[in-house]
Amino acid sequence: MSPADSSLRAPSALHAFNRYEIKYLIGSSAAVALREELAARLTPDPNSGEGGYGVWSTYYDTAALRFYWEKIEGLRFRRKLRVRHYGDRSTVGADSPVYVEVKQRVNRVTQKRRIRLPYAAARELCDGRRRVDAGDGGAGFVDEVLGLVAGLDLRPVAMTGYQREAYLGTGADLGLRVTMDHRVRGRDRDFHLAAEAENRLIVPASMTILEVKADDRVPYWLTDLTARHGLSVVRVSKYCQCVESFGRAPRSLFHVPETADQEL
């Protein structure tokens, strides 16, 4: 194989996902029962460890909250830009790996594209609005992000964080991913991931956001499971919840009333 052929087969820096996503809001007792049944059917995400892992995201939007309103109004095509870190945010430094992601919805399908960058490079791209080296296959995505942040004058608007448990399907359920997000917090300022800033609960501590993500279809056993527990699909968005919790926009019909004045 020639060097040229080899480079063509090299893994791309850009990772893309197309899938269906369904969300539920569940209480503590339901979470315990569901965890047991999911663990019997699915494999724990190897990154989870005991008690799951932290997920922290800085969301970018326009001064008029264009991406927020696209979600609230249920546009068939909508998107958002975020910088995401997995793990302990207090340890984040310039060289810590993060993901710059564009997540968009096209009709009923959720599409996510992302590149992994050192945190300093991610901030240079999204905050400094300067082109960075994203490796093979990532240049086009970098240009897209630059077009968004410069063309729409995007800026950090909200940060969310939560503890996530994740389960993966195997065999006939390959491509299935189920997550349970607990202690959903947020803030509306001090957007450096490692900033010593207060984060407030934006969803009650007793509530968990359950997400089902599938490449093709949700298996029958899982739809039966959610039906047996009386779960109803909800249109909860952690980003929108955070924006509304801090008074950046009126509380929508989809807002989950949070515990008042509870800080972490």
77-119 pLDDT tens trace = 999 999 999 999 999 999 999 999 999 988 888 999 999 999 9
Structure tokens belonging to residue 22: 């369904």
Q: Give the per-residue pLDDT at 107.
A: 85
Query: Please, which residues have CB within 8 angstroms of residue 163's CB and are 6 or more apart in sequence?
Result: 51, 52, 53, 54, 55, 181, 182, 183
- CA 198 – CA 189 distance, rounded (Å): 9
- What residue segments make up the domains of the chain, in order of their start? 14-245
Q: What is the mean pLDDT of residues 29-45?
A: 94
Residues paired with 114 in a beta bridge? 15, 101
Distance of CA 188 to the CA centre of its chain: 17
Residue 204 CB: number of other CB atoms within 10 A? Answer: 17
172-193 pLDDT tens trace = 999 999 999 999 999 999 999 9
- Specify the 3-state DSSP secondary structure of 164: strand
- CA 146 – CA 178 distance, rounded (Å): 32
pTM confidence score: 0.91
Residue 9 has pLDDT above 80, yes or no: no
213-257 pLDDT tens trace = 998 889 999 999 999 999 999 999 999 999 999 999 999 999 998
Q: Give the per-residue pLDDT at 244.
A: 97
Residue 49 has pLDDT above 80, yes or no: no
Q: What is the CATH number of domain 14-245?
A: 3.20.100.30
